[in-house]
Amino acid sequence: MRRKDREITDRGRMEAILSEAPVCRVAFSDGSEPYCVPLCFGYADNTIWFHSGPGGKKIDLIGKNPRCCVEVDACEGPIRDKNPCTWEMRYRSVICTGTAHIVHDLTEKRKGLACILEHYGATEHPFTDTELARVCVIKIAIGEMTGRQYDP
């Protein structure tokens, strides 16, 4: 990281940002092109959970290459200056790399969906097997995590 003065090295602070962020952006590799999508998510135990329909581009890309990158942030807006070229942004962010896995086990699917619900302050829902059959749950096992902030 070029700006060591903005680096977050404390794992607890990075996890707090993951817990507070309303949206995560997951980037997959689509051959020679990146593909990034914003998602609802949950985070617990070094794992990011999200859900999807049973098919589509995300699912296809995970099948081809499960390596991915996740970004979350809490952005509080620009810090303006007389010269627009010297404006800065007040933010806290976390970037994770990891491996995405499509979850097939119904108990694990329930766990992932419960984590997502908890992230948004909802109570647990007793998902039926029929509901679980219609949804694809993906977990990303985090390999690396870096954090960055600027708050003068």
Q: What is the pLDDT of residue 104?
A: 96
Task: Spell out the alpha helix ranges (H) of 5-126.
Answer: 11-20, 57-64, 106-119
pTM of the model: 0.89
Instruction: Tally the domains of the chain.
Output: 1
Nearest to 58 by CA among 115, 100, 108, 23: 100
Q: What is the pLDDT of residue 152?
A: 63
CA distances to 53, 109, 117, 135 from 131, in Å: 11, 11, 15, 7
Residue 117: half-sphere exposure toward Cβ, Cα within 13 Å: 12
Q: Which domain holds residue 52?
A: 4-150
CA distances to 46, 66, 136 from 98, in Å: 10, 8, 18
Per-state percent for the chain, helix, strand, coil, to nearest 5: 30, 45, 25
Report the alpha-carbon distance of residue 115 to residue 1 in Å, rounded. 31
Task: Tell me the pLDDT of the chain (152 aa) as tens digits.
Answer: 566 667 788 999 999 999 999 999 999 999 899 999 999 999 999 999 999 998 899 999 999 999 999 999 987 777 788 887 877 777 889 999 999 999 999 999 999 999 999 999 998 889 999 999 999 999 999 999 999 988 76
